[in-house]
Chains A and B, each alone.
Chain A
Amino acid sequence: DGGITQSPKYLFRKEGQNVTLSCEQNLNHDAMYWYRQDPGQGLRLIYYSQIVNDFQKGDIAEGYSVSREKKESFPLTVTSAQKNPTAFYLCASSIQQAETQYFGPGTRLLVL
């Protein structure tokens, strides 16, 4: 089955710790995205990538980093610089940028 997978489903972060969220897709999509969703709010774009080895900051990139070494993978690192990381993190992909986006099941990050 083609689709987008995210792991883990739940992630706990200690103070001062960096954590990495995984996102993999086998849809052969060029574009991939990371969003953050806080309770009762919409999605805010963290980073996006139009093609392998290239990525751009979104609206709330501070405290986050990404890499795009393979077409299928777009991991997101939440660094210790992100002071309020508790949120629902969603990864998405599309054939090309601004086309229909398909979402993974999300990762809930909680701070201990």
Chain B
Amino acid sequence: RKEVEQDPGPFNVPEGATVAFNCTYSNSASQSFFWYRQDCRKEPKLLMSVYSSGNEDGRFTAQLNRASQYISLLIRDSKLSDSATYLCVVNEAGKSTFGDGTTLTVKP
């Protein structure tokens, strides 16, 4: 079993839809969590950190469920420009583990 697992998708949604991704992790000692966005043939860029209390940035909401060991990313009112691969990152004892990513395609 991988340390960090994501549904690879692809998720194909119409503009304006709400879409949610989950990322499960196996190490209960994991300490910090992030979501990155990666466009095709580009470097990953930080989208948002994930806090225990949950956090929101505009149309994006990230949540952490320590009991079930997963983090989630919710995108509301999807835009064409949201099409990308979303990577989750889990840190534990100084080590960062990346998921393989979930691909989102938003269509007109």
Contact = CB atoms under 8 A, between A and B. Distances in A.
Residue with the highest number of chain A CB atoms closer than 10 Å, among B41, B49, B94: B94
B33 to A, nearest CB: 11
A97 B91 CA distance: 9
Interface residues of A, number: 19
Contacts of A100: 34, 46, 49
Contacts, number: 42
Interface of A: 33, 35, 40-43, 45, 50, 88, 90, 97-98, 100-106
25 contacts: A35-B98, A40-B100, A42-B87, A42-B98, A42-B99, A43-B44, A43-B87, A43-B98, A45-B95, A50-B94, A88-B41, A90-B44, A98-B31, A98-B32, A98-B91, A98-B92, A98-B93, A98-B95, A98-B96, A100-B34, A101-B96, A102-B46, A103-B45, A106-B42, A106-B43
Given A42-B100, A43-B98, 11 more contacts: A33-B96, A42-B99, A43-B87, A88-B41, A90-B44, A98-B92, A98-B93, A100-B49, A105-B42, A105-B43, A106-B43
